[in-house]
Structure 1
Amino acid sequence: MEKDVTDTFNHLFEKAPFEKVSKAALLAELFPVAPTMAVAPVAMNRTFRQVLEEWKAENRNLAKDSLRKYDQLATMMESWRPDLRPDQVTQKVAKEYQQHLLDLQKSDATIKVHFGGIRKCLEQLGLPTDMAWLQYTAKNAPQLDLEIEEVRKLIRWRPTSEHLAEERDRWLFQLFSGRRYEDLEKFDKRERIMLTLADGSQVPALLHAQGKTGNDAAVPLPPIAMKIGERWGWQFPARNWQQRGDWIKEISQGAGLTREWDDRLITGGKVVHNWRPIWQIISTHTARHTAGTLLKQVSNGNKALAKLVLGHADEDVTDRYAKDKARLLAPAVLEAWREVLGELYDGEPLP
């Protein structure tokens, strides 16, 4: 070892004669450190769709509508900038994407969903999402509601095929039960109960889990809803939302739902009017929206009836007495449906 130190010192001195050989230089020569390879940062090369599919897999317990909510973002990115990756979204890119969506006359509500999808991707990658430029505020355009006579027309309409009869009945059952389609898919026959009212009488009802609290509310069913449920053995065939959307439009056209309605678009804060017959606009979501509107309309604005049927939690999310409220409200709910349906209240849709 002594010889090594001497030889090293002499080697350094010969390289720079008459200059001081420092201790650090001597140690560096004696114990050289192997050069380290520069490690390039790992690129997050996953596409928007791949990241969202990963998010879906991790959150597969969510409703189908929630899981496919951001699919439109993945599809749009594949056509707009196929090589763009979520971690490459900067303020400049976000602004350009927003303008692209506005150029396509996408609604503000749609743009809000797209920006929510971008934030979801960044969150999935462990990146910041709280930047102001990643937020998008939207005003929602009014949604279509059917009027009383239009609901009656659907009930009286005679289906021209089995699949249209199925969809007409499914749509009406959603109207009366307040169920979302994904809830209808998961329907368990044990959720049917007889609800005992304050006077001791009983009415048929469906248990409905409230969104915020998870508590069960009991939704009273008018006789026509019971007959629809019995007709299909309380289990409708599974269909995708696109099939259902096409079918209910065909049904509504056949039933003569021709009222003109402004299917307006709010894009970039500006209103774009779009008057069309309602059969071109109606969707599976129209059933629940119509239920809430009609129940308020015929009950002098009693919001409690709509909240019960639609499964909306009370403002007090700790409320544990949803069934007790259902007992109190059930007579008013059934009376409201009687007002909406008239002679059809005890009837049955044409097969």
Structure 2
Amino acid sequence: MQTLLLLRDSDLRALRPHHVEPVALPGGTVPVVTFRQAKTGDEVRLPLPPAAAAIWHAHRGALAVPTQQQRNRRMKQLARVAQLTRPFVRVQYVRGEPTEQVLPLYQVVTTHTARHTGADLLMLGSGGDSNLREKALGHAGVYGHDALERYGPALLQAWAAVLSEPKTDNTRADTGPRAAPSRACVAVPVRTIGQYKLPQLTK
């Protein structure tokens, strides 16, 4: 969820059900998160990509977010299991002087990594639109009265480009029969809200 909304950890933990409401944008009505950043006080209004809307719906707007320390520890554990061990040079400043430390990548993964991973994914999906990235990060005073109407559809298009299944051109030769679906895959009933297909909750 943090990656999909590019939120700081403090802002993610502060989200409440009333922060997300449907808003009519060009192309249809979508759920939009509206809140003020804890760090800057600036208002943020961002459309939820379908994957984030599904998470929000599944939790009924009450996200169970552990403390930042717990999340950092769990992320490092997962990254280590995933064998993210390539060397990473961490630069820290001590009395104004840079010092370098080479660490395995899993040791430097934090909740802030999720925020900037989302920013990099948006760059990929938007064809390198750094302006859109900055708007999603909330780094500048970019949330004017009509910012959501101007940039919301572009944000959703960028996420759709990143998260959709890879497209194939029909000119490639067929390499043989496709593998049977894994038995681990389970069909999940969905319901449609506007243009979003969200998973049905089970009791």
Q: TM-score, normalised by structure 1?
A: 0.42
The correspondence for 2:136, drawn from 309, 322, 346, is: 309
The residue aligned with 2:175 is none
- Does residue 1:329 correspond to 2:114, yes or no? no
Report how far residue 244 of structure 1 moved.
Answer: 1.5
The residue aligned with 2:23 is 195
Q: Is the 8 A contact 2:124 2:162 kept in 1?
A: no
The correspondence for 2:4, drawn from 166, 176, 187, is: 176
Structure 1's unaligned 5+ residue stretches are 1-172
Instruction: Using CA pairs under 8 Å that are at least 6 residues apart, name the structure with larger relative contact order, 1 or 2.
Output: 2
- Whichever residue aligns with residue 18 of structure 2, its letter is R
In the alignment, the residues of structure 2 paired with residue 256 and residue 223 of structure 1 have an alpha-carbon distance, to the nearest angstrom, of 29
In the alignment, the residues of structure 1 paired with residue 125 and residue 86 of structure 2 have an alpha-carbon distance, to the nearest angstrom, of 21
Q: Is the 8 A contact 2:125 2:158 kept in 1?
A: yes
Listed as ranges, the matches of 1:264-279 within 5 Å are 264-279=91-106
Q: Is the 8 A contact 2:36 2:44 kept in 1?
A: yes
- Does residue 1:237 correspond to 2:64, yes or no? yes
Q: Report SS of the residue matched to 1:262.
A: strand
Report how far residue 290 of structure 1 moved.
Answer: 2.2
Q: Is the 8 A contact 1:212 1:313 kept in 2?
A: no
The residue aligned with 2:165 is 343
- Does residue 1:287 correspond to 2:114, yes or no? yes
Q: Deviations over 1:36-93 (max 9, x none)?
A: xxxxxxxxxxxxxxxxxxxxxxxxxxxxxxxxxxxxxxxxxxxxxxxxxxxxxxxxxx
In the alignment, the residues of structure 2 paired with residue 311 and residue 270 of structure 1 have an alpha-carbon distance, to the nearest angstrom, of 29
Report how far residue 313 of structure 1 moved.
Answer: 4.0
- Whichever residue aligns with residue 249 of structure 1, its letter is K
Root mean square deviation of aligned Cα = 2.9
Q: Report SS of the residue matched to 1:263.
A: strand
In the alignment, the residues of structure 2 paired with residue 242 and residue 277 of structure 1 have an alpha-carbon distance, to the nearest angstrom, of 19
- The structure that is helix-richer by fraction is 1
Report how far residue 187 of structure 1 moved.
Answer: 1.6
Q: Is the 8 A contact 1:177 1:219 kept in 2?
A: yes
In the alignment, the residues of structure 1 paired with residue 113 and residue 65 of structure 2 have an alpha-carbon distance, to the nearest angstrom, of 19
Report how far residue 284 of structure 1 moved.
Answer: 1.1
Q: Report SS of the residue matched to 1:236.
A: coil
Report how far residue 246 of structure 1 moved.
Answer: 0.6
The residue aligned with 2:74 is 247
Summarize the Cα distance change of 1:281–1:213 in structure 2 as closer, same or farther, 3 Å threshold.
Answer: closer
In the alignment, the residues of structure 2 paired with residue 273 and residue 320 of structure 1 have an alpha-carbon distance, to the nearest angstrom, of 40
- The structure that is strand-richer by fraction is 2
Structure 1, 221-230 or 242-251: larger mean CA deviation:
221-230
Structure 2's unaligned 5+ residue stretches are 167-196
Listed as ranges, the matches of 1:125-136 within 5 Å are none
Summarize the Cα distance change of 1:263–1:269 in structure 2 as closer, same or farther, 3 Å threshold.
Answer: same
Larger Rg, first or second structure (1 or 2): 1
Summarize the Cα distance change of 1:262–1:287 in structure 2 as closer, same or farther, 3 Å threshold.
Answer: same
Report how far residue 223 of structure 1 moved.
Answer: 1.3
Q: Report SS of the residue matched to 1:274.
A: strand
Report how far residue 184 of structure 1 moved.
Answer: 2.4
Listed as ranges, the matches of 1:85-234 within 5 Å are 173-199=1-27, 201-209=28-36, 212=40, 214=42, 216-234=43-61
Q: Deviations over 1:216-267 (max 9, x none)?
A: 4321111111222233332233532221211111122223333332123333
Q: Deviations over 1:142-181 (max 9, x none)?
A: xxxxxxxxxxxxxxxxxxxxxxxxxxxxxxx011112222
